[in-house]
Copies of this chain bind each other. A is one copy, B any other.
Amino acid sequence: MILDKVDTPTDLKKLTISEMETLANEMRELIIKKVNTTGGHMGPNLGIVEATIALHYVFNSPEDKIVFDVSHQCYPHKMLTGRKEGFTNPELYNKYTGYTAPEESAHDIFKVGHTSTSVSLAVGLAKARDLKGGKENIIALIGDGSLSGGEALEGLDNAAVLGSNIIILVNDNDMSIAENHGGLYKNLQDLKESDGKCDCNFFKTLGFDYYYVGEGNNIEKLIETFKKVKDTNHPVIIHMHTLKGKGLPIAEENKEAFHWILPGTLDKKDEAPSTTEDYCSITTDYILKKAEKDQSIIAISPATPGAYGFTPEFRQKLGRQYLDVGIAEEHAIAAASAMAKYGAKPILAILSSFVQRTYDQLSQDLCLNNSPATILVHWGAISNADATHLGSFDIPLISNIPNIIYLAPTCKEEYLKMLDWSVEQNDYPVAIRVPFGNLISTGEEDLTDYSKINKFKMVEKGSEVAILGLGNFFHLGKQVKEALKKDLNINATLINPKFITGIDEEMLDELKANHKVVITLEDGILNGGFGEKIARFYGNSDMKVLNFGGYKEFTDRTPLEVLYQRYHLTTELIVQDIKNVL
């Protein structure tokens, strides 16, 4: 293999074009095998192999700095910068993260996982270089839908007037995660169709020097262009047209499905679609039924429809009652607020990790205007996710904003009842923390009137110890109750708070009569969260309060068992902690 000879980018510089083309094919095969084994970003990485080779051939990383946007396209880069064993040796498949990681290599400048950040980060590097009198090239590699994010657009606007070297490589693969949305992508289309020559050029209007590479998977053409702009003294855009999923026919044809895949996807025979219910399927079923009857219902997603079960079929059925705004979370929340204000019924789905991209819009556009939009927050949980995609910060983020009602259902029935209440009411912005994990159904219809806000549900009245099990962790609370009975013969009180954004003062006051300890369980960090509010409430009383939840830290692919031990989130450890204060 040619790859055997390449340990660092320097080795690459000795190869011929033809050898590099062979290398590209070798790398692609390894990526396909590895990603199909571990899961991960397939299409984006297959499309960027040639550009990565050409970049490292022409530029001198790590002196020249390459900043990867989202950094989900960094697999070829990792293979060429001392980490190929993570792709050649199946035993080391999990050694390296799927994103750039400075702790792994000097060739990785930032830890990145959210989109649209690369241009601003590159501008910062370039400015620091200029202050220090350096001459190195600063390169941002952005694409795959990220251009439409506000941070990227702010970055482009500023990069254009930097007045010194910065090279922004736009990887245009015709796609976001799903299809692209927005006027900008129409302009990219016009540019591609005119071989980069049409008068109407978004990048030129901002003041960039613009280069177009139509054959973005042609190493020779890429090298030619990169050489032209190397050591430029002004801001440059290289717009290259690549093929997402290149070399894997099924990925080339199914770009959305093969953006990110689960392990073993390529080995699966044609299967009938799953008929098992989950929180995504019951959501889409609900929306489809509701939308048929009510033309003002509209489902909104900011660019990651797959994560919410918003399949192509679902989108097609909804027609104009579905809106994907592309990667533009700020716009999504503001627009949803306005829709709700003007009588439509928006249901916006977003991941916990991405809802934090839109704090100001939640606060100012949505909550200050008290618009009755519905926001579904998915994947809110302590998990073994990458540090860039943790779902444990949404409770502090959302629940400390005035006016919004943030709800934590514990099962299918509660979730659907809350969702329907939210859609039909006109008094509050509502967010619902969609339960994480397998669907739990009690089979009992939820008859709660959620317009009576901040009413916790007393599930079982006991004494001595009261357990407030929030959302995902209600079930842990049930287990703790059972263990307390078994181990200490305590008949504990079990409460399902349901409301994250307020406190049932009446119920909590009543607990004072015959309880010594209240414990809170929440599936997120403790700092700024639900439990601390309970601790504050009881601060002037004799009640002991123990808060269980995560620490304020960026964990990175840490196994869940390790986290649960660290945070005392097992029945055994919780009972032990309760014993200590009884």
Q: Which residues of A contact B (CB under 8 A)?
A: 65, 67, 102, 109-114, 117, 120-125, 127-132, 148-151, 153-161, 181-184, 186-187, 199-202, 204-208, 295-296, 298, 320-321, 323, 325-326, 328, 330-331, 334-344, 346, 356-361, 363-365, 367-369, 387-388, 393, 396-397, 399-403, 525-529, 531-533, 535-536, 538-542, 544-547, 552-554, 580-581
Contact = CB atoms under 8 A, between A and B. Distances in A.
A331 B120 contact: yes
A531 B540 contact: no
A338 B536 contact: no
Contacts of A181: 158, 161
A554 B403 contact: yes
B157 A182 contact: yes
A158 B364 contact: no
Given A295-B131, A360-B357, A536 B545 contact: yes
| Most chain B Cβ neighbours within 10 Å, of A67, A109, A321 | A109
B527 A364 contact: no
A120 B183 contact: no
A127 to B, nearest CB: 6
A279 to B, nearest CB: 25
B396 A323 contact: no
A111 B369 contact: yes
Contact of A527 (B110, B336, B365, B400): B400
Contact of A335 (B113, B121, B334, B541): B121
A451 to B, nearest CB: 20
Contact of A544 (B110, B363, B539): B539
Contact of A208 (B67, B109, B120, B183): B183
Contacts of A532: 528, 532-533, 535-536
Contacts of A151: 150, 330-331, 334, 360-361
A262 to B, nearest CB: 25
B298 A127 contact: yes
25 contacts: A110-B341, A121-B335, A127-B339, A128-B338, A128-B343, A148-B157, A150-B154, A151-B330, A151-B361, A153-B154, A154-B325, A157-B326, A157-B331, A158-B181, A158-B326, A183-B206, A184-B205, A186-B206, A368-B388, A400-B525, A400-B528, A527-B533, A528-B528, A531-B536, A541-B544
Contact of A342 (B129, B184, B200, B363): B129
Contacts of A128: 296, 338-344
